């Protein structure tokens, strides 16, 4: 029997810098992903906000694997990684990131992760 999970690697480009520096906006992104994909955090997400024009790095350890994001306001970009050890329903990353972060372009790569033969 082959079991597989799914990993999404997402880049949002042309985002509004202020939104990429807003911790509440990023915490809402994680909360929405957790709720809508039925994920199970094993601890609270950890966040690091860089000084000055820097962005934010966030990590949430999940029973299913992890969520991670890195923002770069100086470049208008957000990098997001969602790794689930079991298949999950599709999620509209493009619409969400365009609406919430005003991204001009969103690139989504979906990788199947196989654990058996």
pLDDT recorded at residue 31: 97
> Does 48 qualify as catalytic in the annotation?
no
Q: Which of 65, 69, 77, 84 is catalytic?
A: 65
Alpha carbon separation from 48 to 45, 52, 103, 110, 116 (Å, rounded): 10, 13, 22, 26, 36
Q: What is the dihedral of CA 73, 76, 78, 79, to 10 degrees?
A: -110
One digit per residue, the tens of pLDDT, for the chain of length 117 reads: 455 788 899 999 999 999 999 999 999 999 999 999 999 999 999 999 999 889 999 999 999 899 999 999 999 999 999 998 777 778 999 999 999 999 999 999 988 766 665
> Does 65 qualify as catalytic in the annotation?
yes
pLDDT recorded at residue 7: 87
- Residue given tokens 């350890």 in the structure block: 61
> Does 70 qualify as catalytic in the annotation?
yes
pLDDT recorded at residue 86: 77
Q: What's the whole-model pTM score? A: 0.91
């Amino acid at each position: 029997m082959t079991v597989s999970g799914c990993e999404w690697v997402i880049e949002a480009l042309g985002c509004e810098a202020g939104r990429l520096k807003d911790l509440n906006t990023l915490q809402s992104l994680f909360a929405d992903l957790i709720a809508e994909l039925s994920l199970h955090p094993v601890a609270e997400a950890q966040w690091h906000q860089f000084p000055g024009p820097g962005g934010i790095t966030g990590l949430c350890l999940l029973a299913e694997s992890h969520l991670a994001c890195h923002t770069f306001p100086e470049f208008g970009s957000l990098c997001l990684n969602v790794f689930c050890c079991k298949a999950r329903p599709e999620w509209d990353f493009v619409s969400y990131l365009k609406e919430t972060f005003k991204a001009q372009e969103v690139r989504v790569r979906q990788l199947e992760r196989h654990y058996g033969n």
